[in-house]
Amino acid sequence: MKVGDNKSRPSAGAAASRAYGGAARTQGTGAATGAGAAQGGRVVSDSASIMGVPETELTPAVRSALMTLMGEVAELRRELDGMKSRLRDAELLADHDPLLPLLNRRAFVRELARVLSYSQRHKEPAGLVYVDLDGFKQLNDAHGHAAGDEALKHVAKVILSQVRESDFVGRLGGDEFGVIMMRADEEGAKHKALQIVQSIAGHPITVEGVKLELGASAGAVGLTGTEDPEAALKRADVAMYRVKRGGGT
The residues that are catalytic are 175
Q: Is 101 helix (H, G, I), strand (E, B) or coil?
A: coil
CA 190 to chain centre: 30
Q: What is the DSSP letter of 218?
A: E
24-30: Cβ within 8 A, 24+ apart: 27/56, 28/56
Is the separation of the CB atoms in 232 and 222 below 8 Å? Answer: no
CA 33 to chain centre: 60
The rounded distance, in Å, linking the Cα atoms of 63 and 204 is: 71
Residue count of the chain, please give it: 249
Is the separation of the CB atoms in 236 and 219 below 8 Å? Answer: yes
DSSP bridge partners of 51 = none
DSSP 54-66: EGGG--HHHHHHH
